[in-house]
């Protein structure tokens, strides 16, 4: 895409999944492969404002700035990743700052182009999977139906149709409720064992960060984008999962990457969560 050209869409990945750069890159490449020229946008400069919910002035300013930037891009659509961003755009951002684009979740964008996507999924991915669904976003986007449907396009993948759904819209909503996340993980492990499944597929980033440690219980954990990327032969190595399950996270990350991240930022923001055992 030329530097000054108008993108078909903005791929708005939000500000809370930057630990998963491979998912962002693979998502952008998959969108491009199905014919969507989507310019990635995220981080603090494209925030929905929710991290500053306690301060209405800052929250509103961040949200307004993001909508204005998207309007100024000339893109006809904003394709979302994060359910919180998607809901905030619908509920508070667009009603306050009128938009000149439509908002669509990435699962909707890919499903609408499934006739183009399916022939690109040429690599078999042998897996018996359980999709980690939540209740809270399904009313906005039929996420618990779209992700399994997309996965069933992949040769070798068998998706269990199981009714279990976790509360909330992703696991960040459970983490602050005593015992809730552990109950969710125990239920997922039980379903997997009962049905002889080998792979838990996460939908969203906060769920993925919590669930990857379940690999210590013998269950492979992948995001749905990782599976699509594998079927397309795209690189999408899950570095975060490697770090979280390493005996020595610092050694797994390496000195060069630690230097790039900054010792203070890593020690304060990332290292504590990497050292957490599985929540079960």
For residue 123, CA distances in Å to 44, 180, 220 come to 36, 37, 19
Alpha-carbon span 86 to 96, nearest angstrom: 15
Determine whether 111 is exposed, middle or buried from the number of CB atoms within 10 Å of its CB (0-12, 13-18, 19+): middle
Alpha-carbon span 271 to 108, nearest angstrom: 35
pLDDT value at position 43?
A: 87
pLDDT value at position 1?
A: 46
Of 16, 15, 11, which is closest to residue 175 (Cα–Cα)?
A: 16
Residue 54 DSSP SS3: coil
pLDDT value at position 54?
A: 63
pLDDT value at position 134?
A: 97
pLDDT value at position 26?
A: 97
Helix (H) or strand (E) holding 128: strand 127-132
User: What would the two tokens of residue 68 be?
Assistant: 């204005």
- The number of angstroms, rounded, from the C-alpha of 194 to the middle of its chain's C-alpha atoms is 27
CATH number of 9-111: 3.40.50
pLDDT value at position 18?
A: 75
Would you list the domain boundaries of the chain?
9-111, 121-280
pLDDT value at position 49?
A: 79
pLDDT value at position 2?
A: 44
Which residues of the chain are under the pLDDT cut of 50?
1-3
């Amino acid at each position: 895409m030329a530097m000054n050209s108008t993108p078909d869409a903005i791929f708005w990945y939000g500000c809370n999944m930057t630990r998963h750069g491979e998912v962002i890159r693979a998502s952008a490449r998959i969108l491009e492969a199905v014919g969507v020229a989507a310019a990635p946008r995220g981080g603090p400069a494209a925030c929905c404002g929710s991290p500053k919910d306690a301060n209405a002035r800052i929250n509103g300013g961040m949200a307004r700035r993001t909508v204005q930037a998207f309007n100024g891009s000339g893109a006809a659509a904003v394709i979302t990743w994060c359910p919180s961003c998607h809901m905030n755009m619908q509920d508070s951002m667009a009603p306050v700052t009128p938009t000149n684009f439509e908002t669509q979740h990435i699962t909707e964008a890919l499903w609408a182009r499934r006739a183009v996507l399916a022939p690109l999924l040429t690599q078999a991915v042998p897996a018996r999977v359980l999709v980690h669904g939540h209740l809270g976003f399904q009313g906005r986007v039929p996420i618990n139906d779209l992700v399994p449907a997309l996965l069933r396009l992949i040769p070798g993948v068998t998706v269990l149709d199981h009714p279990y759904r976790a509360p909330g819209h992703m696991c960040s909503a459970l983490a602050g409720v005593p015992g809730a996340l552990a109950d969710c993980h125990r239920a997922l492990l039980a379903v997997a064992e009962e049905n002889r499944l080998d792979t838990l597929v996460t939908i969203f980033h906060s769920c993925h960060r919590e669930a990857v440690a379940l690999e210590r219980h013998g269950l492979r954990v992948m995001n749905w984008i990782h599976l699509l990327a594998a079927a397309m032969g795209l690189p999408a190595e899950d570095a975060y999962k490697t770090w979280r399950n390493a005996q020595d996270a610092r050694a797994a990350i390496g000195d060069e990457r630690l230097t790039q991240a900054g010792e203070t930022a890593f020690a304060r923001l990332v290292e504590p969560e990497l050292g957490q055992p599985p929540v079960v």
